[in-house]
Structure 1
């Protein structure tokens, strides 16, 4: 690691159920605002809905907005906030050399079409013929361009002019970890100078809630904290993008860091083996904790899925470090969850303090000391473990 460069976070764009931008999130967190949840729209399931957002502010052309699905609008909006935060908006020269690494899921289903087909197919004398006809007419558009995962990166490029190299990762929580890891690794190794990394998720969609419900993983109302006694996943609509930059590049353009990203680690434990998740997470924490002092906190992006979350909580309890649950505040955003957690961790590090513990979350204790380091943990709901380290940039 000694031959690696530092990597600064020079811009953050964040939208969630708590609002948009760093100031709104800090006011909500520091003010003790409880989680914003919706227990009525998708009964019996719980979601953290996106705060009211004026998409025109970052996506001015209505035509661009219309051809995006909602998760793409969330991500494109958050990316614009990050570029504003970093002072890059409109700088065509730098944006043209800015690399992009995006974490994205699949597109959103056309629920009315799916419902109509499921209602009619049982009435058909030849259901196979009927389904083929629907594939050629109604279903095919819902599976075409708007659903491609790399369209988020494409829309960010079109709307904001980010035209460096581009990569898109799929794979639930791990894709968010790896998107940040690749951006960080390239800058640290000297093969990139500046990158936009992040992801987005729309929780207010019945198709994804159905998938979690079928796996018996969706949280039922009433809402409950995820670390204390995990009862399921309360998904949250959110988008988060970070501008990562080498100190040399940032200094040359007069930019100051919000925080320093000092490492990102991604693993995949053999979950069929008892204790594998805990062992894998503890091993990554040992690496991240090298040289850690009492000014360090842990930000957990735990999913709420019972078994992996219990394993994550056990490791956090043994760490002896103050813990804050990101998921309790904004819900779980799958691909976007690691970028969201990193955004909140960097925000706390830049403020130098932790926000208050959440009532009913026994792992969270009051902490009035100074925070200069934050470790982010993210154990996926059925695979993938990630850890990242954020430090104050002096």
Structure 2
């Protein structure tokens, strides 16, 4: 049997509602800060939006990227490039043959700003005013294409689309690229820039957004009795993955190991998760079995936990279905309480949180849980970080998406 390489994380990058990079985002998460804020524009009055807030990005791309570069990219690609540059630098800008370097950066929705702006231009000014770069800006593979172009990644540039599971699935696919020998290094993650009046109105119409307009920072409250929906977020998270051998050969710092990837589909409903959580359990179990790690060594779960009434309940049952009574001793964090829901970027950012939780031995808090739901009997980390034990331990990151997509990643300490 051929050798299957271990896959390790050597670089982290992000731009989020909590900060313009990973250190500031992680510090804010450990401090229990919320990135939700009221809209600073006229959208509510102009369009009659029922939701008046979102978790908007903390550092605007125009403060980071030169204008000529920005004009070629939809915001979703801008966020991805910012995060990828940080991750690449954090990994030490490894020297690698482009034929052995891959990129997998996903988005759940793609270039929605470009699409809707172009439609407005067409209606108001006619076809001659449409920008020549419109198609390469709106296509959902634009973020990964720009990352691959910048780094010269020729082993493959992919953009898996699985709604809110896209970022985690991108990382899972990147792991497989390394395991199967297609690449030695892969830059992977997810991005989303969908805080625009139309998506806000559409999510509100589907009754999935919180309507807590009088308290934006308290609106995302996973596992709380009074939760009423998620807070729309934006941003990107990107990791640099390498085979352990490649990382060791160049003396790279290693944060953690991606030990297992589990994928499943519910085959049940276009938006609602399957009520028993069977698909979620199958994804988590597959990831754990692939990792070869005993469930007793799982000390932390970063839950998908969007703050919807039904979704949180089903995931809580699924986690207990996987871990049994051991769930009582596993520190569970629901970080969307702080970041909001980054959709296609969520799974990637939460993978970064999971990696750092093991690296720093600190599980980030869940905020806004004033009345824990008694039907969700899990060991929730509330309001302040919790220390994780020393030794060889593991954590699970869950990401689930509209369409019944389930992705679980097992992260192991090194």
| Structure 1 counterpart of 2:84 | 79
| Structure 2 counterpart of 1:130 | none
Pairing 1:86-105 to 2, within 5 Å after superposition? 86-88=91-93, 91=95, 93-95=96-98, 97-104=100-107, 105=109
Pairing 1:355-394 to 2, within 5 Å after superposition? 355-360=364-369, 362=372, 363=378, 364-365=380-381, 367-370=386-389, 372-393=393-414
TM-score by length of 2: 0.80
The change in CA–CA distance for 1:251 and 1:216 in structure 2 (over 3 A counts) is: same
Instruction: Say whether 1:108 aligns with 2:117.
Output: no
The alpha-carbon deviation at position 3 of structure 1 amounts to 5.0
Structure 1 unaligned runs (5+)? 121-132
Aligned partners of 1:137 and 1:327: how far apart in 2?
42
Instruction: Say whether 1:351 aligns with 2:360.
Output: yes
Aligned partners of 2:246 and 2:9: how far apart in 1?
12
The change in CA–CA distance for 1:247 and 1:304 in structure 2 (over 3 A counts) is: same
The alpha-carbon deviation at position 115 of structure 1 amounts to 6.0
Match of 2:336 among 306, 327, 333: 327
Instruction: Say whether 1:49 aligns with 2:49.
Output: no
Aligned partners of 1:170 and 1:294: how far apart in 2?
31
Aligned partners of 1:103 and 1:296: how far apart in 2?
28
Instruction: Select between 227-236 and 263-272 the one with higher mean Cα deviation.
Output: 227-236
| Structure 1 counterpart of 2:279 | 280
| Structure 1 counterpart of 2:220 | 224
Instruction: Say whether 1:341 aligns with 2:341.
Output: no
Question: Does structure 2 conserve the Cα–Cα contact (< 8 Å) formed by 1:298 and 1:323?
Answer: yes
Question: Does structure 2 conserve the Cα–Cα contact (< 8 Å) formed by 1:200 and 1:240?
Answer: yes
Pairing 1:253-332 to 2, within 5 Å after superposition? 253-272=250-269, 275-276=274-275, 278-289=277-288, 290-293=293-296, 296-316=299-319, 319-320=327-328, 321-332=330-341
Aligned partners of 1:352 and 1:248: how far apart in 2?
25
Tell me the alpha carbon deviations over residues 227-264 of structure 1, each in whole angstroms, 9 at most, x when there is no partner. Answer: 32442231111101111100111111111211000011
Aligned partners of 2:117 and 2:180: how far apart in 1?
48
Aligned partners of 1:382 and 1:62: how far apart in 2?
37
TM-score by length of 1: 0.84
Structure 2 unaligned runs (5+)? 45-49, 322-326, 373-377
The change in CA–CA distance for 1:20 and 1:292 in structure 2 (over 3 A counts) is: farther
SS in 2 for 1:236: coil
Match of 1:70 among 68, 75, 80: 75
SS in 2 for 1:344: helix
The alpha-carbon deviation at position 276 of structure 1 amounts to 4.9
Tell me the alpha carbon deviations over residues 328-380 of structure 1, each in whole angstroms, 9 at most, x when there is no partner. Answer: 12111111111111010001111022234424163523644426321011122
Instruction: Say whether 1:171 aligns with 2:162.
Output: yes
The alpha-carbon deviation at position 162 of structure 1 amounts to 3.5
Aligned partners of 2:101 and 2:197: how far apart in 1?
35
The change in CA–CA distance for 1:164 and 1:191 in structure 2 (over 3 A counts) is: closer
Q: RMSD of aligned C-alpha atoms? A: 3.0
The alpha-carbon deviation at position 326 of structure 1 amounts to 2.2
Pairing 1:101-250 to 2, within 5 Å after superposition? 101-104=104-107, 105-109=109-113, 136-137=127-128, 144-220=135-211, 221=213, 222=215, 223-229=219-225, 230-250=227-247
The alpha-carbon deviation at position 277 of structure 1 amounts to 5.3
Aligned partners of 1:386 and 1:284: how far apart in 2?
6
Question: Does structure 2 conserve the Cα–Cα contact (< 8 Å) formed by 1:17 and 1:330?
Answer: yes
Tell me the alpha carbon deviations over residues 207-229 of structure 1, each in whole angstroms, 9 at most, x when there is no partner. Answer: 22122123222222241313324
SS in 1 for 2:281: helix
Aligned partners of 1:263 and 1:25: how far apart in 2?
25
Count of aligned pairs: 374
